[in-house]
Amino acid sequence: MPAYHIAVLPGDGIGPEVTAAALQVLDATVARLDDVQLRYEELSVGAGEYLKSGNPLPESAVERMRAADAILLGAMGLPSVRWPNGVEMTPQIDIREKLDLFNGVRPIKLYHPAHSPLKGFGGAEGKPIDFVIIRENCEGLFSERLTPRPEGRDFETDTMKITRHGAERVCREAFKLAATRRGHVTLVDKANVLPSMAFFRKVFDAVAPEFPAITTDHVYVDAMALFLVQRPETYDVMVTENMFGDILSDLAAGIVGGMGMAPSADIGPAHAVFQPSHGTAPTIAGQGIANPIATILSAALMLDWLGHPESQRGARMIEAAVAATLAFSAYMRGLLAEPRSHHHRRSHHRRHRRPLTVSRFSPCASSISLCPSDPVCAA
């Protein structure tokens, strides 16, 4: 029986809350599977670790991650904890680079019409929103962020680095994914202005003939910001560089219910990290109101990636449980909530004291139901 070693990095802010909820779901799922076990090893990484030890990402933790079969991460960083040059510590990005997790897979799916601020989407009547952003994770505009720079200059620059190797491999992953879906890949670039992006486009166009069954198009990133609001139903898989993927991920999350609805997988040749697309949301940390769905769905992506038929059955169980749970609009109130005022925050807090977790299970061994342990949803 495979006993997978899972490195668990709860991180900072709401990271520990959403990770705890995902572990509950994983435990409930694994209990219903034959032949699969998970063994967790918790590692301290993030702004909190920096405050304790002076290093947000100790090398010993990276070694344990390398030894693990997969890595589950909450979120890292706190706006108040910064390096002397003013930028935050970002171990979640350092991990992608150290473990070569070039393929950032970010599924975006609308589960209920009421979750979207857009009209006419979701449910039996509306247009579906169901696409995947593939974000290149190891180069692009983030690539030289750690390069030491002379102090006291009157300028700073950041380099958009695109290599043939980096662009080819991420484009191939986008095409392979599209072959399992609706068969279309959109390249999101800025090839009208930036030579690095024109190069990315040439590489994309050179890879495309390897996948003759897949149709393609190109969209400039500024236009994509518009189209994601106007006609998100037209996209299947989109591939883009690191920073554009970072920004579009938040926009895309916004049209399906917010950051708490957007899972991700950062996949490399030998390792993979599964984490929500969101950050540490420090203003809502510790209140029990963070939406854990993105982390729960990231755990499902992890079970899928582990590749065992039973772990993959577990992934389908979690996805089905999330879809069934979110089909009830009663669950909605815990999802979109971004407290807008003191009064709203207090009333919201009373209704949603605890995050959505597994608190009761259906009698059927092949499915799980999720229920917030909250009176409004227990009805």
Ligand X SMILES: NC(=O)c1ccc[n+]([C@@H]2O[C@H](COP(=O)([O-])OP(=O)(O)OC[C@H]3O[C@@H](n4cnc5c(N)ncnc54)[C@H](O)[C@@H]3O)[C@@H](O)[C@H]2O)c1
Residue type, 343: H
> Is there binding between residue 51 and ligand X (CB under 6 A)?
no
Residue 71 found at the interface with ligand X (CB under 6 A): no
First to last CA, the chain: 39
Which window, 21-29, 143-151, 282-290, 368-376, contacts ligand X (CB under 6 A)?
282-290
Under the binding rule (CB under 6 A), the answer on residue 357 touching ligand X is no
d(CA 361, CA 219): 44
Part in contact with ligand X (CB under 6 A); list of ranges 64-72, 166-174, 290-298, 340-348: 290-298
Length of the chain: 379
79 versus 128: smaller Cβ distance to ligand X: 79
Kind and range of the H or E element at 272? strand 272-276
Among 88, 94, 100, 168, binds ligand X (CB under 6 A): 88
Contact track, ligand X, 180-209, x by CB under 6 A: ------------------------------
Q: Name, in order, each residue with C-beta under 8 angstroms of 58's C-beta and a sequence gap of 6 or more.
A: 44, 45, 49
Output the smallest distance, CB 113 to ligand X, in A: 19
Query: Of these, 56, 104, 166, 260, which contacts ligand X (CB under 6 A)?
Result: 260
Say whether residue 77 binds ligand X (CB under 6 A).
yes
x-or-dash string of contact with ligand X, 8-47, rule CB under 6 A: ------x---x-----------------------------
Q: Which residues make beta-bridge pairs with 251?
A: none
Nearest residue to ligand X by CB is 279
Interaction of residue 70 with ligand X, rule CB under 6 A: no
Least gap, CB of 261 to ligand X (angstroms): 8
Kindly indicate which of the ranges 75-83, 100-108, 146-154, 361-369 contains the residues binding ligand X, using the contact rule CB under 6 A: 75-83
Distance CA 84, CA 89 (A): 10
Q: How many residues bind ligand X (CB under 6 A)?
A: 24
Instruction: Give the residue with the Cβ less far from ligand X, 14 or 162.
Output: 14
278 binds ligand X (CB under 6 A): yes
Q: Of these, 287, 291, 325, 357, which contacts ligand X (CB under 6 A)?
A: 291
| Closer Cβ to ligand X, 166 or 276, answer by number | 276
When asked if residue 280 is in the footprint of ligand X (CB under 6 A), the reply is: yes
Q: Three-class SS of residue 203?
A: helix
- Regarding 242 and contact with ligand X (CB under 6 A), the answer is no
Which one among 6, 8, 71, 75 touches ligand X, defined by CB under 6 A?
75
Establish if 329 lies at the interface with ligand X (CB under 6 A): no
> The tokens 């009209």 sit on which residue?
119
Contact 302, 265 (CB under 8 A): yes
Q: Please, what is the minimum distance in Å from the beta carbon of residue 116 to ligand X?
A: 15
- Pick from 234, 241, 243: nearest CA to 188: 241
By CB under 6 A, tell whether 259 contacts ligand X: yes
What distance in Å separates the CA atoms of residue 216 and residue 197, rounded to the nearest whole number? 17
Contacts of 86 (CB under 8 A, 6+ apart): none
DSSP 136-184: E-SSBTTTTTTS---TT-S------B--HHHHHHHHHHHHHHHHTTTSE
333's tokens:
């109130």
- For the bound state, the minimum distance from the C-beta of residue 275 to ligand X, rounded and expressed in Å, comes to 6
Alpha helices in the chain (DSSP H): 15-30, 47-53, 59-67, 91-98, 164-179, 195-207, 221-230, 242-254, 293-306, 309-326, 342-351, 375-378
Would you count residue 356 as binding ligand X (CB under 6 A)?
A: no
Q: List residues near ligand X by CB under 6 A.
A: 14, 18, 75-79, 88, 92, 258-260, 275, 278-284, 290-291, 294, 338
